[in-house]
Structure formats: structure tokens, C-alpha cells
Structure 1
Amino acid sequence: MAIGDVHGCATLLREAIWPHLGSGVELILLGDLIDRSPEPDGDRQVIELVRELQSNPEPYGLAGVTVLRGNHEQMLLDALAEEQPGEATDLWEWNGGDAAFLPVAREHRAWLETLPLTAIRGPYLLVHAGVRPGVPLEQQERDDLLWIRHPFLSCPHGLPYTVVHGHSITRDHQIDHRPDRINLDTGAFRTGLLSSCTLRC
């Protein structure tokens, strides 16, 4: 089961995961676990919940938990890499980063650095933002996988997968199913709707 951008919505994440505990499914989170949280301490709660499930999937009846890197995780990592707060920290905070979360983030930095950019499950390519149309997967640039909107959202991508992604909030705040892609970002932090879909592999 793939889950869209969480953005610190700990309550919504628990509600999304709860029905699947004990089901034997794999959870795949598409990145942007953090930032813009509408609830107190949401970023910490989300990170700790996800890491607990990932470290111990069996007691929860899950096959596993895969977490992809989103642009917000990357911005946070760039901020953590600065010896003194500078441009990277300013960019992260401008995009909804909470400076009070930094001490917690430092505890999870090594884990954040391990997060992959993509995952393939059968006919599905899972990625945070999308892909550059016409470019083979092995030649895709990191920034496109984390940040791209257009031309990905407006052109066939040409890869032999259905791309499952987030990053760009859908106009009607519903899951956007297209012939070659599925967008799961329904703007949870703004709308209260955290979307997911079952992958039929």
C-alpha cells in the first residue's frame, strides 16, 4: 500500500495505517513525512511511528515498511549539513520547516540519509515527485525525482511503469489516476485528507 505526503499529520497517518495492521501488506511512504504539520509535535510523532513500524514490521502484521525521500527530507538534510544556519536552513523553514524540530531531526539524521529515491514493485515505480519524461530511469537526476512538476504532470513519461507519486497537490483533493501515473498527494496538512492506494502487483 502506497501512502501520499504526510507532512506531520500524525493522527491521519495512524488512521490510514490502522486498518492494514495484521494484513501482511507492505507500506510504502512516498516522502515528505515532515513540515507544515497542523498538529503540535506532529513531525516527531510521524518520524517515530514510521521508524517503529519499519524496524519491527512483524509484530504489527506488516510485510515491511519502505520510506522514500521527499524534497522536504532533502531540504532538512541540507539544513542539518550546515555548521551554522544559512541558506539551506532558511529554505527549509520557508517551506514549512519547524526550527524546534531540529534537535529531534539530528537524532534521525543517519536514517534520513539512507532513504532511497525510488522503489519498484511489479509494474509500479514509486517516487516522491515524478520523473523527467523521455529519460531512462537510471539516468534520472535526483532533483527531478524530488522536485519535478512539469513536464512530468503534462506529458507521458515514457517509462515502462505506472509511476506512483506525490509532491503536487491534486486540484480536487482526490487521488488522480492517469494512464501512466497515480498522484496520491491530496494535501493532507491543508485538507485533512491523507490518501493511499493498494498496489496490485
Structure 2
Amino acid sequence: MFLRGNHEDLLIRSYEGDKRREELWLLNGGMATLSSFKLGGNSHWRRKFPKWAMDFVAATHVAVKFDHFHFVHAGVVPYGVDTEVEADLDPRLWIRHPFIKYGDSPGRIVVFGHTPTPDCRPLIHTNKVGLDTGAGQRGGRLSVGCFDDTRPRPRSPEFTLFQVCDDGTVTPDEAIRNVLTHLPKNEPTLRFSMPAIPTLPPASVE
């Protein structure tokens, strides 16, 4: 199951003929995408864009909710807070700081990306986990999360975080693990482990 991000959203809008979004898409990875398919950056690229690739992008989900976790590209919309996102765009694909500061998904931990963390470490709150640690930027790292949604409530959910180190090795991030010792005592604990995770149907997809 694959999530849609803001770049996929731009591609879909561009493919459907939105000239304004096409210009933005071409400047933010679109030209590289067309080049990878050996297509030029002219207005005729839609005619030759691979159907299988467009079908894949169009079938992605904006959000996927399980029992413990809510997966979304950028975040969820905080109630009564300006999202700072243009009205014709889906804020779940574009929102940044208003979500990080105020947003949550009642009863679930929101797992998101989109906004790189300044210290290249995943952002860990009791109600959200941010995995964008700047892998596409100089000095950034690729972070990977393994989330276990099989634990019945009220037991706390478990997840494991890994980071790709500079030498290419993949190891559990002990610095992230240590963050948990500093969470307030009255907050639920996010446990780390290496569980075997079966394939489960999501509670809902959007």
C-alpha cells in the first residue's frame, strides 16, 4: 500500500492539464522524472508518459489508518488552525508547521514525512512520529520505521526505527531510543522492539 505525497499530487494535476501546477512540478523533480523515461520537457510529454506509471501514481492513497497508527505524507489538519496551504490543495499532502505544532489524530499516532527535521533525527512525540530526516539533502539521513499494529488496546504500540549511516550500514538508532526516557511520566510509552509484523488490512484508506 503506497501513500501519495505532494510531488505525486503535482504530477497528477500536471497530467490532467493544470499548467500552473505543471510548472511547479517540472521545477521540483518533474524534469528528472521525464528524463528518466527519456521524455522531453515539452507540452507533448503526456502523450508518451507510461500508462503503468500514471496508473500506479493515481492509485496511491492520501491517508491510511490502522488501529494504532495514522499514516499520511505531510500531516493532518489541526482543528481551528490555519493550515498555510493554498485552498485548492489537499493540506494532508502539503501542511508543515501548523500540524507539527498543533495537529493530532485522536487515538492514533500520526506517522508522516514531508518536513525535514533540523537535526536529521526522527521527530518523536507521544502523538506523532516524523520520518523525514533530510535524505535528499546534503548531510541528511534516510530513516526507516517498522510499525507493529497487532498489539490490542490498551497496550502501547511498538515500532522500530532504523537509519542508514554514512557508510551505508543500517542500524537501530540508539539516540532515538534514548529520547523515550525523557517523555513525561503521564504520557503513553512508545516501545521499541523488533516484532514480526503480519500483513493486516487497514482500518480505513483515503
Tell me what 1:120 maps to.
Answer: 65
- For 2:29, the aligned partner's letter is G
Deviates more, 1:144-153 or 1:155-164: 155-164
Tell me what 2:132 maps to.
Answer: 185
Does the Cα contact within 8 Å between 2:69 and 2:109 map onto a contact in 1?
yes
CA-CA distance at 1:165 after TM superposition: 0.2
Does the Cα contact within 8 Å between 1:134 and 1:157 map onto a contact in 2?
no
Give identity over the alignment, percent: 31
Tell me what 1:194 maps to.
Answer: 142
Tell me what 1:75 maps to.
Answer: 10
Aligned CA distance change for structure 1 residues 192 and 81 (closer, same or farther; 3 Å): same
- For 1:73, the aligned partner's letter is E
TM-score, length basis structure 2: 0.56
**Structure 1, residues 168-188: CA drift from partner, whole Å, max 9, x if none?**
001101111111100000111
Bigger Rg over Cα = 2
Unmatched segments (≥5 aa) in structure 1: 1-65, 136-140
Between Structure 1 and Structure 2, which shows a larger proportion of helix residues?
1
Aligned ranges 1:142-161 → 2 under 5 Å:
143-157=90-104, 159-161=106-108
Following the alignment from structure 2 to structure 1, what is the Cα–Cα distance between the partners of residues 103 and 20? 35
Following the alignment from structure 2 to structure 1, what is the Cα–Cα distance between the partners of residues 143 and 136? 12
Aligned ranges 1:15-164 → 2 under 5 Å:
66-82=1-17, 86-98=19-31, 99-101=34-36, 103=39, 106-107=50-51, 108-134=53-79, 143-157=90-104, 159-164=106-111
Q: How many residues align?
A: 129
Unmatched segments (≥5 aa) in structure 2: 40-47, 81-87, 150-206
- For 1:114, the aligned partner's letter is A
Following the alignment from structure 2 to structure 1, what is the Cα–Cα distance between the partners of residues 105 and 62? 19
Following the alignment from structure 1 to structure 2, what is the Cα–Cα distance between the partners of residues 105 and 169? 30
Does the Cα contact within 8 Å between 1:175 and 1:195 map onto a contact in 2?
yes
Tell me what 1:31 maps to.
Answer: none
Following the alignment from structure 2 to structure 1, what is the Cα–Cα distance between the partners of residues 103 and 57? 31
The residue matched to 1:69 in structure 2 has which SS?
coil
Deviates more, 1:99-108 or 1:118-127: 99-108
Following the alignment from structure 2 to structure 1, what is the Cα–Cα distance between the partners of residues 14 and 90? 16
Deviates more, 1:142-151 or 1:169-178: 142-151
The residue matched to 1:198 in structure 2 has which SS?
strand
TM-score, length basis structure 1: 0.58
* Structure with the larger RCO, 1 or 2 (CA within 8 Å, 6+ apart): 1
Tell me what 1:20 maps to.
Answer: none
The residue matched to 1:164 in structure 2 has which SS?
strand
